Amino acid sequence: MRVSLKDVAAHAGVSIKTVSNVVNNYQHVTPAMRERVQRSIDALGYQPNLAARHLRKGRTGIIALALPELGNPYFAELAASVIDAAAQHDYIVLLDHTGGLREQELLVSQGFRARVIDGLILSPIELETEDLRDRAQDVPLVLLGERDYDLPYDHIAIDNVAAARAAVRHLIDLGRREVAFIGARRRRSEPAQLRVRGWREELTAAGLAADEGLVAATDGWGHADGAVAMTHILDSGRRPDAVFAYNDPMAIGAMRVLHERGLRVPEDIAVVGFDDVIEGRFGAVTLTSVSPDKAAIGRLAVESVLARLNDRAPEHRRIWADYQLAERESTLGRPTGTGRGTA
Alpha-carbon gap, residue 306 to 264, rounded angstroms = 49
Question: Choosing among its own copies, DNA, none, which partner's interface includes residue 70 (Cβ < 5 to 8 Å by kind)?
Answer: its own copies
- For the four alpha carbons of 279, 281, 286 and 287, in that order, the dihedral sign comes to positive
The helix (run of H) or strand (run of E) holding residue 134 is none
List the beta bridge partners of residue 324.
Answer: 291
Please identify, using beta-carbon distances, which residue of 6 and 340 lies nearer to DNA.
6
Q: Which is nearer to its own copies, 4 or 336 (CB)?
A: 4
CB contact at 8 A, 279 and 250: no
Give the C-alpha separation, 265 to 61, whole Å.
49
Q: Which residues bind its own copies (CB under 8 A)?
A: 2, 45, 47-52, 54-55, 58, 60-62, 69-71, 73, 75-77, 79-80, 83, 87, 92-97, 111, 113-116, 136, 138, 222-224, 227, 249, 252-253, 255-256, 259, 278-279, 281-286
CB of 342 to its own copies, least distance (A): 27
Residue 61 or 333: the one with the smaller Cβ distance to DNA is 61
Q: How far is the CB of 155 from its own copies (least distance, A)?
A: 23
**φ, ψ at 66 (rounded to 5°):** -115, 115
- Number of amino acids touching DNA (CB under 7 A): 27
Q: Which residue intervals of the chain are DSSP H helices?
A: 5-12, 16-23, 31-44, 50-57, 73-88, 102-109, 129-133, 160-173, 193-205, 223-235, 248-260, 294-310
Closer residue to DNA in complex, CB, 17/340: 17
Of the pair 57, 312, the CB lying nearest DNA is at 57
Contacts (CB under 7 A) with DNA, residues 4-43:
4-6, 14-18, 20-21, 23-24, 27-30, 32-33
DSSP string computed for 300-326? HHHHHHHHHHHSS-PPP-EEEPPEEEE
d(CA 93, CA 169): 38
Residues 36-75 that bind DNA (CB under 7 A): 46, 48-49, 52-53, 55-57
Least Å distance, CB 318 to DNA, is 33
> Closest separation between CB of residue 56 and DNA, Å?
4
C-alpha–C-alpha distance, residues 187 and 332, integer Å: 34
Q: Given the complex with DNA, which of 207 and 310 has the nearer CB atom? A: 310
Closest approach of its own copies to the CB of residue 129, in Å: 22
Q: Which residues bind DNA (CB under 7 A)?
A: 2, 4-6, 14-18, 20-21, 23-24, 27-30, 32-33, 46, 48-49, 52-53, 55-57
